[in-house]
Structure 1
Amino acid sequence: MFRMNSASLGFAVPAMLLSTAAWADLTPTQVWGDWRQYMENMGYGITATENDAGGTLTVSDLALDMPMPEEGGAVSMNIGTLEFRGNGDGTVAIVMPDTLPMSISATGTETDPGFTMNMDYAQTDHSIVVSGSPENMTYAYDAGTVGLKLKELIVDGQSYGAENARIDVVANDFTSRTTMTIGDTRGYEQTGQIGGVTYDVFVHNPEQSGQLSFKGSMSDLTLEGNGTIPLTTVDAADMAAMIAAGFDMSGTITYGSGNTGINFVDEEQGDFSAATSSQGGELSVAMGPEGLAYAGSQKDTEMNLKVAELPFPIDISMARTGFKLEAPVVKSDEAQDFAFGITLGDFVMSDMIWGIFDPTGQLPRDPATVELDLSGQAKLLVDYMAADAATQMAGPPGEVEALSVNKLLVDAAGARLEGQGDVTFDNSDMTTMPGMPKPVGAIDLSLEGGNGLLEKLVAMGLLPQEQAMGARMMMGLFAVPGSEPDTLTSKIEFTEDGQVLANGQRIK
């Protein structure tokens, strides 16, 4: 497998070109000087020839490169010529070439061959205009299309042409506006819109039988972001140092309908294909001293899978899906917040799949839902984003001090399980509960339709009678009957003196 961290950084460079070029004063020389200083502070080496004449600064033979010593690779761009033109009204136009060549490479190891990807970043009908004041600037970028295209892939010294490797990504109707405030740090606010994106990826190793294609599109993308970037020189690969220097960012992308097709062909292992679609969603990310946060949601997702070993397709759909992850990133003696959540709402399988294990239709086939929402506090013992994180790992990376089950819901096949509760943990006491910190708190659970589901599973032959009897005994031990038929409730308590109670009855 190719290592892609360097590649990911390379893909981000064109966006930097579009944004950081505007983070400067409003004369051509100062715009270029500030852009160059910013890129050098981020770790890029820059070579160029400058010529200032007639209110236009021409920067020719411009090349950027960043070594990646830990990964044994580098990202480089041969941009060619840029022009910084004073418009005579206090604004500066930045004239860029239609095509910017890029090269991304990584040296090989004993188990992972080295590779080089030569790519073109292309744009049409594009313009960048910087306006405002040196302390508060606005840049406007517009383009009919922007795209990224693989020209050549070299693996372990061997070149693979377009018949074996293809990457082609195109975005149309691209518009971006950024306001930048420059003081002790660089603060920015950004908005953007993209009419649509198409992507086409193909990989085939001629020495093996398998080949993979990946195609799709998305429409109506919007971007909102803001953040703070340090002005001082910081190793951009050391995210812990970046955060300590003031780095803080957040952003949200929304999108309309989209679809993806995946096709894997392998004469030896069998073929696989997948087609997915959705009617829109949202993805957000934030990183800074307060922690790292990801969240995403999607609506009306449909999937069709075809696997060589199965004689029929797998069709599933979900009306809503979502996830969230929040975690601290800075080592601290104080507890910090964390969270995790996942939602699979109104999950539906095709009757063909149901027929495999329920041919007589005994189980209700209503849409199923699974939701889990957790939050809590933990003490981070390691700066895991620091360059020397591995040397800090003398023990566990952190300690959980509190956990809240804000919502637990499993609603499927005629049964419904719900739960919520709060528990704290004493990490100084690892003996009351051997091998784990002592818990104190309570979890409330309720189950509806549990016995009915067990009876149907036994009747279908999916669950042996003796196992169903064991399950009923466990429910009888931990739960009590509810107010309605076939309902159970349970309160599991962890007391300060180390007891574990189920509905007031001691079980430890």
Structure 2
Amino acid sequence: MHRLARLSTSSALALGLAAGPAFADLTAQQVWGGIEAAMQGFGYSVSATETATSDGLDVTDVVMRFEVPEENSAVTVSMDAVDLVENGDGSVTMTFPASMPITIDAAPEGEDTVNMVLDYANDGLELVVSGDPANMTYAYSANQLTISLSEMNINGEPVGRDEARFDFVLDDVTGTTTTAKSGAMTITQDVQASAASYDFAFNDPQSDDAALITGSMGAVLATSTATLPEGFDPSNPESLTAGGFSATGALSYDDGETQFAATESAGTTSGTTKTGSVRIQFSVDDAAIRYDVTATEQAFTLSGPELPLPVDVRMAASSFNMTAPVAAAEEPQDMAFGIAMRGFEVSDLLWNIFDPGAALPRDPATVALDLTGQVTPFVNLFDPADVARIEATGQVPGELNALTLNDLTVEVAGAKLGGTGQFTFDNDDMTTFDGFPRPTGTVSLTLDGANALIDKLIAMGLLTNEDAMGARMMMSMFAVPGDGADSLKSSLQINEQGHVLANGMRIQ
């Protein structure tokens, strides 16, 4: 997985720099020299033939190559010719060949040898460089950009497009890249496309296995800002935590649709997904990584020979967020985790399996969890040796210092559970709770509609009277009447002595 991530990142970087290079200067020669320096700074070797012209520079036989010797893998970007024309107003226009092949060769020890060629094609791609040497702006546009799998060999055997294909298309692409260098290099990018589509398929001629994934999205927007300190080495993961590195970005699109199918000996499983909108944000620096994604108006269908009936579910909104430290530290660092599924609905066909009489309310369900806290990490996640040491010794990678439950919400079948709370943890006391740091704090819970739900489950035959009595006795032990009818509330506390109390009564 790590090898594939590095190769894909390298090829994506090559494409991005081909469409909007990292930095340049005001003459054609200086622009090309800047591109070479940028690619070399990202770990690529560059070779080309340069020919001066009356209005700029012609660069031919361009080869940019990124190698990973320890994994016996490489990515090579080739361009027949790049024309750089000085416009007379201090700007330089660059035009690129209609096709720029990207070759990926991977022969890791003990695995299949894979050689593939991706055809990076464009319709009307043009780039204009302007600004001053220390702060350059690159404006680019294209009617269409495409990436297609044109050749593939596995262990020397060719794989045709009837066996494997991949196509990705961006329409009406515009974007800008700005760079500023003052010791560190800061790169800011803003790219948008009116639409994107993708098509992936494979078919194994020696078996019945096959797969197909196609999809599209509209109003695609991507933004990013990266600061690369002097001496930054992209091939060394430790450079990410050496100090001075940071990156933030966002990706969004509307009206996403996907169709997929997978065929095996048992038959074909197929389905669809739809989203009204998707928003993704991330940031990473030498201390932490942060990730936040939200989606609206989601729908999912699935049917196949191994499913007793078709699956059809919908969700009004969903979200996921995470903050995690990446470098070892002596002091507690912030962390966060959140997940939510709101307005979750399933089809009546699924409901009728266990509730044919519609006894339960079929209102949209919600499940949400929001946690923040502090941890002290003992390991640098970007240092392979550090991670390997932790894995080999079985040492814990860090300690939990504090945890806050900002929100717990579960709404389903007419009942609602809610909760908030806060705890700190004493890592010097690992005996009170048998190997777990002793917590101190309180969590407050509310439960509405539980008795009505239990009564309905009894009437449906899904719960016996004996089981219901046990559940009600358990609730009475830990909860007291709430503010309304069929409402309960509870305050669970762990004090500094390690005692567990429910509503002031000690239970442990």
Same fold, TM exceeding 0.5?
A: yes
Query: Contact 2:441–2:494 (CA<8 Å) still a contact in 1?
Result: yes
* 1:429 aligned onto 2:426: no
CA positional deviation for 1:401: 0.8
Give 1:244's match in structure 2, choosing from 223, 230, 242.
242
> In the aligned structure 2, how far is the partner of 1:287 from the partner of 1:408?
27
Residue aligning to 1:470: 470
The DSSP-based 3-state class of the residue aligned with 1:455 is helix
Amino acid aligned to 2:505? Q
CA positional deviation for 1:199: 0.5
Matches within 5 A, 1:117-266: 117-234=116-233, 236-266=234-264
Residue aligning to 1:326: 323
Query: Contact 1:278–1:301 (CA<8 Å) still a contact in 2?
Result: yes
Amino acid aligned to 1:323? F
CA positional deviation for 1:55: 4.0
Residue aligning to 1:13: 14
Q: 1:237 to 1:204 in 2, by over 3 A?
A: farther
Amino acid aligned to 1:347? F
Query: Contact 1:82–1:94 (CA<8 Å) still a contact in 2?
Result: yes
CA positional deviation for 1:294: 1.2
> In the aligned structure 1, how far is the partner of 2:112 from the partner of 2:298?
37
CA positional deviation for 1:116: 1.9
Amino acid aligned to 1:248? S
> In the aligned structure 1, how far is the partner of 2:378 from the partner of 2:144?
46
Name which of structure 1's ranges 304-313 and 134-143 shifts more when overlaid on structure 2: 304-313
* 1:382 aligned onto 2:382: no
> In the aligned structure 1, how far is the partner of 2:468 from the partner of 2:157?
60
> In the aligned structure 1, how far is the partner of 2:69 from the partner of 2:328?
25
> In the aligned structure 2, how far is the partner of 1:142 from the partner of 1:120?
19
> In the aligned structure 1, how far is the partner of 2:171 from the partner of 2:374?
43
Residue aligning to 2:115: 116
Name which of structure 1's ranges 215-224 and 66-75 shifts more when overlaid on structure 2: 66-75
> In the aligned structure 1, how far is the partner of 2:38 from the partner of 2:408?
47
Residue aligning to 1:406: 406
* 1:271 aligned onto 2:272: no
CA positional deviation for 1:342: 1.0
Gaps of 5+ in 1: none
CA positional deviation for 1:109: 4.6
> In the aligned structure 1, how far is the partner of 2:3 from the partner of 2:191?
30
Amino acid aligned to 1:117? M
> In the aligned structure 1, how far is the partner of 2:505 from the partner of 2:70?
57
Q: 1:2 to 1:166 in 2, by over 3 A?
A: farther
Q: 1:167 to 1:43 in 2, by over 3 A?
A: same
The DSSP-based 3-state class of the residue aligned with 1:396 is coil
CA positional deviation for 1:65: 1.6
Query: Contact 1:108–1:115 (CA<8 Å) still a contact in 2?
Result: no
Q: 1:14 to 1:383 in 2, by over 3 A?
A: same
Residue aligning to 1:31: 31
Amino acid aligned to 1:170? V
* 1:369 aligned onto 2:370: no
Give 1:347's match in structure 2, choosing from 344, 347, 371.
344
Q: 1:446 to 1:182 in 2, by over 3 A?
A: same
CA positional deviation for 1:3: 6.4
The DSSP-based 3-state class of the residue aligned with 1:89 is coil
> In the aligned structure 1, how far is the partner of 2:415 from the partner of 2:10?
47
Query: Contact 1:3–1:106 (CA<8 Å) still a contact in 2?
Result: no
Matches within 5 A, 1:55-74: 55-74=55-74
Residue aligning to 1:488: 488
Two-structure CA RMSD over aligned residues (Å) = 1.8
CA positional deviation for 1:2: 11
CA positional deviation for 1:481: 1.6
Residue aligning to 1:288: 285
> In the aligned structure 1, how far is the partner of 2:404 from the partner of 2:10?
37
> In the aligned structure 2, how far is the partner of 1:84 from the partner of 1:504?
77
- CA deviations 1:219-253 (Å, max 9, x no partner) are 0112232231234251x133331342522111112
Gaps of 5+ in 2: none
Q: 1:8 to 1:165 in 2, by over 3 A?
A: farther
Amino acid aligned to 1:358? D
Query: Contact 1:348–1:367 (CA<8 Å) still a contact in 2?
Result: yes
The DSSP-based 3-state class of the residue aligned with 2:20 is helix
> In the aligned structure 2, how far is the partner of 1:199 from the partner of 1:408?
38
> In the aligned structure 1, how far is the partner of 2:386 from the partner of 2:150?
37
- CA deviations 1:417-473 (Å, max 9, x no partner) are 000111111112111211111101111111011122222223323234433333222
The DSSP-based 3-state class of the residue aligned with 1:13 is helix
Q: 1:4 to 1:208 in 2, by over 3 A?
A: farther
Q: 1:432 to 1:114 in 2, by over 3 A?
A: same
Query: Contact 1:230–1:242 (CA<8 Å) still a contact in 2?
Result: no
Residue aligning to 2:456: 456
CA positional deviation for 1:474: 2.0
Name which of structure 1's ranges 417-426 and 459-468 shifts more when overlaid on structure 2: 459-468
> In the aligned structure 1, how far is the partner of 2:69 from the partner of 2:442?
50
> In the aligned structure 1, how far is the partner of 2:152 from the partner of 2:377?
41
The DSSP-based 3-state class of the residue aligned with 2:247 is strand
Residue aligning to 1:501: 501
The DSSP-based 3-state class of the residue aligned with 1:9 is helix
- The alignment's TM-score, normalised by the length of structure 2, stands at 0.95
> In the aligned structure 2, how far is the partner of 1:414 from the partner of 1:318?
17
CA positional deviation for 1:254: 1.9
Query: Contact 2:71–2:109 (CA<8 Å) still a contact in 1?
Result: no
CA positional deviation for 1:107: 1.4
Q: 1:240 to 1:248 in 2, by over 3 A?
A: same
Amino acid aligned to 1:185? A
Name which of structure 1's ranges 307-316 and 116-125 shifts more when overlaid on structure 2: 307-316
* 1:94 aligned onto 2:94: yes
Amino acid aligned to 2:369? L
> In the aligned structure 2, how far is the partner of 1:80 from the partner of 1:281?
38
> In the aligned structure 1, how far is the partner of 2:350 from the partner of 2:155?
44
Query: Contact 1:108–1:156 (CA<8 Å) still a contact in 2?
Result: no
Identity %: 37
Q: 1:3 to 1:458 in 2, by over 3 A?
A: farther
The DSSP-based 3-state class of the residue aligned with 1:162 is coil
> In the aligned structure 1, how far is the partner of 2:431 from the partner of 2:12?
51
Query: Contact 2:232–2:239 (CA<8 Å) still a contact in 1?
Result: no
